[in-house]
Structure 1
């Protein structure tokens, strides 16, 4: 499992910059730069409508990552092999962009 630090604080799964989803998907099949990747599991906290105010959510430091960025050095048959990654994202309203800042092209 990979250590995940996530700054996409608008995501419904983000709990203190950790992920409470359990596993995530990084997209960007043809990516050659980090800006061409994103967290396919991102769900906007304000529009997702899934948040139950009584539910207890805990963020995980280590997580399974299904990586679709085929050109990434850390992608081994769609599994992320990096010891740690950073998913960066916007924390302001109107911004749903995320990326895997750890992406490194093997090309």
Structure 2
């Protein structure tokens, strides 16, 4: 599993810069740059659709499904990087997040 640090503090799954979801999806099938990726699992904290969800403790290691086919770390849609950073400070939607570790082949 990959070590994940997440700066998307507006995400309902963010617990102390870690993720409480257990797994995430990195989107950006044809991405050539980090800005063209996003965390497809992002859900804004406090939105009416997510108010009933209960957060657990944040995890440092996490399973990452990766749709960014051009990323060096994508192997059969799984992230093989030892560690990644998900950016998105102040994000309100998943499109405002990104995989900072994305590296185009």
Partner of 1:75: 74
Structure 1, unpaired ranges of 5+:
none
**Distance in 1 separating the partners of 2:38 and 2:55:** 26
1:26–1:48 distance in 2 versus 1, CA, 3 Å: farther
Per-residue CA distance 1:20-42 (angstroms, 9 max, x = gap): 00000000000000000000000
SS at match of 1:24: strand
How many Å separate the matches in 2 of 1:52 and 1:88? 25
Could you say what the CA RMSD is over the residues aligned between the two structures, in angstroms?
Answer: 1.6
Q: In the comparison of the two structures, how many residue pairs are matched?
A: 103
Q: TM-score, normalised by structure 1?
A: 0.89
- Runs (5+) with no aligned partner, structure 2: none
Give the equivalent residue in structure 2 for 1:7: 7
Contact in 2 for aligned 1:88/1:100 (Cα 8 Å): yes
Larger radius of gyration: 1
Q: Is the 8 A contact 2:12 2:55 kept in 1?
A: no
Runs of 4+ in structure 1 displaced over 4 angstroms? none
